[in-house]
Structures are given as C-alpha cells and as structure tokens.
Amino acid sequence: MTSTVIYDAAELPDCEPSVFNDIQATIRLFGGMPIAIFGFITNVINVIVFCDPEMRCSLVNHFLLVLSISDLVLLVCNFFMLIFPVIASMSNNYLLHDYYPVFLWFAYPVGLSTQTCGVYLTVLVSVHRYLGVCHPFRAKRWVSGKPVKWAIIGSIVFSIVINLHTWLELDIRTCYSSSFNSPLRSIFLTPLRMNSKYTLITKCIMYTLIMFIIPFITLIIVNCRIVVALKESTRMRNGTSMKKSTQSRIMNNFRMLKGAKYSELFGRFGRLNFNPLKTPSLLKTNGNSLRDRSVTLMLLAIVAIFLCCNCLAFCNNIYDNVHVVKKHAQESDAFNQTSFLPEIEEQSQDYDEDWSIFDEWTFDFSVEISNLLISLNSSSSMFVYLIFSSKYRSIIKHWLGLEKRKRTNGVALTTVMAAQKALELSILPDEVEARRHRKEKNRFVKNSKQLTKSTQLFLTTSETDLRKAKSVRKETEDDEIQEIQSDEPSAASNLSRDDQNRSSSKRKLLRFATLA
C-alpha cells in the first residue's frame, strides 16, 4: 500500500514567482553556462592528467589534483545554484520547477564548502612553494608525503566543518502554483538565515575573515617572499653566466695564439676545452633550479589569477557587509527606542528606497560579474599548466597523437630519487670518514689484545721467561711499527680510492638521474 499526500489548495500558501532580472538572466545564460561547460571539461582533463603515475611523483601535483577536483565540484554546484534556476524559471516544464529547489538546497552548502577548500588549497600550495624556495634544506626534511596528505585532508575537513551551518539556511516547502494549478516545491530562507545577528556573525565576520582577509594576506606575504627569492636567484644566475662568458673569452684568446711563438703550448690549452663550470653536479643543480623555477612561476600565475578573480567578490562582500551593519544598527536602535518607532521606520524606509533605487542595479551587476570571475578562475588553470609544465604538455601531446610517450622506469626513478635524497641529506659524504673510524677501532682492539697477552705472559713466567717475554714484546713492537709504516700509505691510498669511488659514483648517479 502506498500512501499519497493530498494537499488542499486553500491550506497551501501561494508560490512566490521566481523572477530574475535581465542582468542576471543574460550573464548567467550567455556567460556563466559556456564557462561552466568549458571548466567542467578542462578540470576533468586536469584530474586525469594529475592521476598519471609520472605526475604523482611530485608532491605539488597532489595539491593540484585535489584543487582540480575542488574546482570541478564548484563548477557543478555553481551550475545548479545560478544557471539551473534561471533555466527552470524560463521554462514551462513542471518537473524543472518542482526539482530545482532540491538541487539548489543541496548545491548551496556543498558549493560553499568546495569554494573554501579551493581557497585554502591555493594557500597550502603557496606555503609549500615558499618552503621549497626560501627554506630548501628544511623543506627536504619537513615536507614529505605524509605531511602533504594530512594538510590536504585537514583543509577538506576544515572546509566542511566551517560551512555546516549553511545546511540550516535554506528550507524546501510545498506551495500552490497558480500557473500549474497544482502543489509545487519551492525554496525559502529559514528564520535562522533571516536573523540579523546570525547574518552579522556568519556573513560579515566569519565569511570575511575566513574567505578573504586571512587567505589574501597569507598569499600576498608568501608570494612576495617568493618573488624576492626568484630575483635573487636570477641575479646569481646572471653572475654565473658572466663567469662562463669570461672563461669562453679566455679560451678563445688561447686559440687565437696558436700561431704565436709558443703555438704548441697554446694549442694544447685550446684542445683541453677546460670548463670547470660544466661539472655534472652543476648541470644537475642548474636542471633542478630551472625545473623548480618553472614550478614556482606556475604557482605564482595560479595565485595571481586567484587574487584577480576574487578581488571583486571581496569588494562586493565589504559593500554588502556595510549594508548589513547599517540595517542591524537601525534594528537595534528601533528595539532600544520604542518611543521613536515611527521616525525610525520612516528612516529605514528612506534607506531602503535609496538602496533599491540608487544601488540595486549596480550591485546586482557587480555580483553577477564576480560570480562569473570565480567560475573563470576554476576553469582557466589548464592554460597555466600547459604554459609552465613540460610533463603536462607531453601527456596532452601524447593524447593528441603529436608525440610519442617516453615511459620512465619506475624502479630506476625511485632509486635515483632515494640516492638524490641521500646526497642531499649528506649521508654519502660521511661514508669515508666512517670507514676510517672503523679501521682505527679495529687496530686499537688488535693492539689491546696483544698488550693483554704480553701482560699475562709477564705475570706467569720466571726471570728467564721474562727476558724471553721482553724480547717477544720488542719483536711485536717492531712488527707493529713496520705494520703502521706499511699501513700509512695503504690507508692513504684507500682513502684516495674511496674518494675516487665516491666521486665516480656521484657522476654515474647524476648522469643516470639526467637520463631518467
């Protein structure tokens, strides 16, 4: 048995017509919808690319993967919050009118949560890059896989918790539609959302601090420090290039003197092609610095687009906060001064008329443009990745058939990364010193054993045996002196051989890392 609810038309309130003005309908349909569709496609591509095993090797790409998922969900929620109600109100379909309040009720808190998550993921990416650029040695020890994962999980949990109250701001009720002559679901603001104190605390204070002031200040400070560090590295790189050019001029002068009196000597210098700057370690350092520089520029571009696209929303929020504070002040004055209630109502009516006549059109237009820019920010990240990320470009070219994919050996890449980590943490340079300490310790143990034997022999023998013991001890001391004299060049050769092996292992490792 299925029970059906029968509504009496007289008991149901009339549905309020959902009317959107021309500015809202035009901007949302002809501006927001193409951006939402394009952003949905680009963020799906971003998610697939960042899920590639080659892209997951970098910790920055973990942030970018979750950021792409957040942008994708935000665009979907923006569609059901802003665009779908306009389509439903302009149509004559009963199902669209009946179901869009359900989508709106669900998309509103989810969209705010994903927007908060995207903001703080951008902040975390900037902080991660700041540690890598300004504190590289600390970043190698602090920023690893587990802290990055916990930071991402923490931003997601924080975004959900801070927006839990938004689930209580909207309510779905049944009303009677005169156009369809039947009951219809509609969306309403709850009494909690209409409370002025709640609006003042959540929208004016919490939302402004969490979504604008804290992230904006953090991003500006961190990225200014990154820009200063980039300028310093550029200055140092220019100095290195000047040294290279000076050395090349010296070598050219040597080659020009081949026809002089000492042409044979200068010819030998010219054939050496000596360039102390082109060592494997420096080549590796330059390659890593260029790669880090491109990653840093990519993240700076993402932050710059984020700040530009959210600046108008911040101004609209400040303007709306001023309006809410003034309205709340008028209501509090009206509550405290009941004797002057007619005058206060007259002032509030004048203020509402001024607001509706002078500022309503401009404010609506500014709000729609800010929503459009937020959607554009979530849709334009693919272009930044294409410009600055060579791996991203190579994967896209492989999909389009323009380039053959060069698969990297995962075991070799892991080995290289582990060896590089060992070099950066100064594990290998201490290996020779540890070997020398072990040899000295073994030699000390050997000498102590021989001394112990000679002592026992001294205590247990007679006078005649004592002489023999002294002679034996003298012979042992002579043998020790000869052994030490013979071990000194061998130890020195071992140390030099260890140094040569270490330097050759470094060259092989760096050459292997370059090929990988």
Q: Tens digits of per-residue pLDDT, 307-345?
A: 999 999 988 888 888 877 777 677 666 655 544 434 434
pLDDT digits (tens, 9 = 90+) for 9-31: 567 888 887 778 888 899 999 99
* Residue 460 within a domain: no
Classify residue 384: in a domain, yes or no: yes
Give backbone dihedrals phi and psi of 92, rounded to 5 degrees, phi first. -110, 20
Q: Quickly count: other Cβ atoms within 10 Å of residue 88's Cβ.
A: 19
Phi, psi for residue 116 in degrees, rounded to 5 = -65, -40
Phi, psi angles (nearest 5°) of residue 345: -65, -40
Burial class (CB in 10 A: 0-12, 13-18, 19+), 428: middle
Query: How far apart are alpha carbons 107 and 101 in whole angstroms?
Result: 10
| Adjacent-strand bridge partners of 173 | 186
Name which of 91, 8, 52 is nearest 405 in CA terms: 52
Mean pLDDT value of segment 62-80? 94
For the stretch 452-470, pLDDT in tens is 665 555 455 455 555 666 6
> Is 94 within a domain?
yes
Residue 445 class from Cβ within 10 Å (0-12 exposed, 13-18 middle, 19+ buried)? Answer: exposed
pLDDT value, residue 106:
94
The domain containing residue 179 runs over which residues? Answer: 22-237+289-328+367-406
Please report whether residue 483 resides in a domain: no
Phi-psi bin for 273: left (phi > 0), alpha (psi -120 to 50), beta? Answer: left
CATH number of the domain where residue 232 is located: 1.20.1070.10
Please indicate, yes or no, if residue 11 is contained in any of the structural domains.
Answer: no
- The residue-averaged pLDDT of 222-247 equals 75
Q: Contact at 8 Å (CB) between 187 and 104? A: yes
Number of domains composing the chain: 1
Is 17 domain-assigned?
Answer: no
Closest CA relative to residue 109, chosen from 152, 170, 174? 170
Q: For residue 101, with 0-12 CB atoms within 10 Å meaning exposed, 13-18 middle and 19 or more buried, which class applies?
A: buried
Assigned domain for 457 exists:
no
- For the ranges 134-148, 290-304, 374-388, the lowest mean pLDDT is seen at 134-148
Measure the CA–CA gap between 103 and 76, rounded to whole angstroms. 11
Q: Is 258 part of any domain? A: no
For residue 276, the model assigns a pLDDT of: 42
Q: Give the chain's end-to-end CA distance (angstroms, integer).
A: 69
106 versus 475: which is more confidently predicted? 106
- Cα-trace Rg, the chain: 37
How confident is the prediction for the chain on average, in pLDDT? 75
Of 49-63, 142-156, 176-190, 332-346, the poorest mean pLDDT is in 332-346
* 175 strand-pairing partners: 184
Q: What is the mean pLDDT of residues 412-440?
A: 53
